[in-house]
């Protein structure tokens, strides 16, 4: 069989037929579902985490320092340094609106210049999570500061402003491993080296998000 790809090197979206589906678990944030799928001559069962999707914010100050916050993550039993981020768990917000809210709630900041930095699929072999990471520049502190409205993991979020080049080193050495941080930091450093010429508007279309939603694979909150 010829296994040399001769088409364009870019992701494409064309779902195989799902002939059966069963929700195995319905949780507070995501569901676990088993789908029976026809792939060529094969009938297989694939489990997936049905996720609401999320956004993150790489905030850079005038000195090209990136904001990282230290937050506990229970599944890995550790405190991770990561950018402000949050779930797309309300119908009332666009991705950009959600990013602005998270920057205010988790860091007490606002920004006057916003772009889409990078889109990625966090673990497409097992979850439907779509993730959009924004670049926020021209940041300033909100007059009222950060509202301490979170609980548990979000009650205390210490901040660190790290020079972007130093942050790249932290990623490459394995000292920072949160995917929003690793993807966002490396994307920001690359975009800067290219004169920010590849940045998309903050309200740029998000086709993969629309596609995954059309498949019924986005966990939707109550209307």
Residue spans of the domains in the chain: they are: 17-50, 54-201
pLDDT at 220: 81
Q: What per-residue confidence (pLDDT) applies to 164?
A: 98
How high is the pLDDT of residue 148? 61
Residue 102: closest CA among 114, 115, 86? 86
The reply to whether CATH 3.40.605.10 applies to domain 54-201 is no
How distant, in Å, are the alpha carbons of 105, 122, 207, 213, 215 from that of 16?
Answer: 40, 21, 18, 15, 11
Residues 61, 46: Cα–Cα separation, whole Å: 44
Spatial distance between the Cα atoms of 55 and 148, rounded to a whole number of angstroms: 20
Host H or E run for residue 50: strand 42-50
Which residue, 121, 55, 115, is CA-closest to 90? Answer: 55
The candidate with the shortest Cα–Cα distance to 82, out of 162, 165, 148, 151, is: 162
**Residue 187 and residue 168: Cα distance in Å, rounded?**
10
pLDDT at 149: 64
187 membership: H or E segment, kind and range = helix 179-193
Residues identified as active-site: 154
Residue by residue, pLDDT tens for the chain (223 residues) are 689 999 999 999 999 999 999 999 999 899 999 999 999 889 999 999 999 999 999 999 999 999 999 999 999 999 999 999 999 987 789 999 999 999 999 999 999 999 999 999 999 999 999 999 999 999 999 987 667 665 666 667 899 999 999 999 999 999 999 999 999 999 999 999 999 999 999 999 999 999 999 999 999 866 5
Residues with Cβ within 8 Å of residue 66, at least 6 apart in sequence = 58, 59, 60, 83, 161, 162, 163, 164, 167, 184, 185, 188
């Amino acid at each position: 069989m010829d296994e040399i790809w001769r088409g364009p090197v870019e992701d494409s979206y064309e779902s195989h037929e799902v002939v059966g589906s069963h929700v195995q678990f319905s949780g507070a944030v995501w569901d676990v579902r088993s789908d029976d799928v026809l792939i060529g001559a094969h009938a297989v069962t694939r489990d997936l985490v049905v996720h609401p999707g999320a956004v993150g914010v790489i905030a850079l100050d005038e000195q090209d320092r990136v904001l990282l916050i230290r937050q506990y993550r229970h599944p890995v039993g550790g405190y991770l340094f990561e950018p402000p981020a949050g779930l797309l768990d309300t119908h009332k917000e666009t991705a950009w609106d959600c990013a602005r809210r998270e920057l205010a709630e988790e860091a007490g900041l606002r920004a006057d210049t916003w772009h889409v930095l990078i889109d990625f699929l966090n673990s497409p072999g097992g979850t439907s999570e779509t993730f959009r990471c924004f670049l926020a520049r021209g940041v300033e502190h909100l007059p009222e500061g950060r509202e301490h409205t979170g609980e548990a993991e979000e009650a205390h979020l210490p901040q660190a402003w790290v020079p972007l080049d130093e942050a790249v080193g932290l990623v490459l050495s394995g000292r920072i491993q949160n995917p929003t941080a690793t993807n966002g930091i490396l994307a920001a450093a690359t975009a800067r080296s290219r004169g920010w010429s590849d940045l998309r508007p903050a309200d740029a279309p998000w086709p993969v998000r629309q596609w995954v939603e059309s498949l019924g694979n986005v966990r939707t909150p109550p209307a």
